[in-house]
Amino acid sequence: MSHIILANWKLNPMSFKDAKFLFENIKNTIARLRSVKVIIAPPAVFLYPLSNGYKGNKVEFSAQKISEYEAGAHTGEISAEQFADAGARYALIGHSECGETPDQVRIKTFLSCKHKLTPIIFVGESDRDEQGAYLFEIKKQIKNAISELPKSRIIDIIFCYESVWAFENECELSVYDIHTMILFIRKTLSELCGSEISRKIRIIYAGSVNNGNAASILSIEDLDGIGVGRSGLNMNEFSELLKVANKV
């Protein structure tokens, strides 16, 4: 199975010209690789022109943030259905920078599935304690996100583990730490959905991933991919990361 490489462009780049240049480089690199699948989450204004001009199948596009509403008087919002029509196939949900409430995460997960977008749900601890209460926080996040979905739709979800605590404390998690958390997420999904379904759900990791540590992280058993931010905006660095991922 191919490694998932999620590139969240956030509020970058500043022009469509730069976005297209970056995408063309990614497209040319990925065309020569067999074991990598790229998901790009560009700013909303770039999504349609990028996706509409791409005819391949190794790159797909994600919305960075969808609305909790389906239609109506909600200025500035973009619905899951609108993103799907613009060419998105995924939607980021619960990212720490978006400030979504548990209710919003639950609603957006449901709306994503309703409109045929695959939810990429971010889960992770905001703090750590010696008693392990942060594990219950993550378990609660997972349970909340899938609470309105039938089991048949849960299989399609991608969970992305990202430790806000590690980021805020400038702490890089070890391969052992990441593996431990992936196993915990998988165990939680097994308890909630059954082992057969949990084995099919994809889990990726995001958190200070770069060319230097990508190979060791992608070698983690039960991990299906990685997410990057800054690295995904540097043409040369991201191309090298894709090549590294292709070899693992």
Averaged pLDDT, 237-245: 96
What lies within 8 Å, CB to CB, of 168 at 6+ separation is: none
Sign of the CA dihedral with 245 first, then 56, 237, and 175 last: negative
Q: Kindly report the average pLDDT of the chain as a whole number.
A: 95
> Domain total for the chain?
1
Averaged pLDDT, 130-144: 94
Determine the Cα–Cα distance for residues 181 and 241; give it in Å rounded to an integer. 23
Q: What is the CATH number of the domain that holds 130?
A: 3.20.20.70
Phi first, then psi, for residue 202 (nearest 5°) are -90, 140
DSSP for residue 17: H
As given in the structure block, the two tokens for residue 2 are: 């191919």
Torsion angle of the four alpha carbons 228, 230, 232, 235, in this order, in degrees rounded to the nearest 10: -150
Determine the Cα–Cα distance for residues 121 and 86; give it in Å rounded to an integer. 21
Task: Indicate if the pLDDT at residue 211 is higher than 80.
Answer: yes
Pairing verdict, β 225-228 and 3-8: parallel
Give yes or no for a cis peptide into 119 (omega within 30° of 0). Answer: no
Confidence label for 224 from pLDDT (cuts 50, 70 and 90): very high
**pLDDT given at position 103:** 98
Determine the Cα–Cα distance for residues 66 and 74; give it in Å rounded to an integer. 12
- Per the CB < 8 A criterion, the answer to whether 37 and 23 are in contact is no
**pLDDT given at position 173:** 92
Confidence label for 131 from pLDDT (cuts 50, 70 and 90): confident
How many CB atoms lie under 10 A from the CB of residue 85?
Answer: 11
Residue range of the domain that includes 168 = 3-247
Averaged pLDDT, 145-167: 93
**pLDDT given at position 194:** 94
What one-letter code names the amino acid at 53?
A: G
**pLDDT given at position 132:** 86
Question: pLDDT over 90 for what percent of the chain?
Answer: 89
As given in the structure block, the two tokens for residue 20 are: 């297209």
**Structure confidence by residue, pLDDT tens digits, 2-35:** 999 999 999 999 999 999 999 999 999 999 999 9
**Structure confidence by residue, pLDDT tens digits, 87-116:** 999 999 999 999 999 999 999 999 999 999
DSSP for residue 212: T
Beta bridge partners of 40: 7, 61
In this prediction the pTM is 0.96
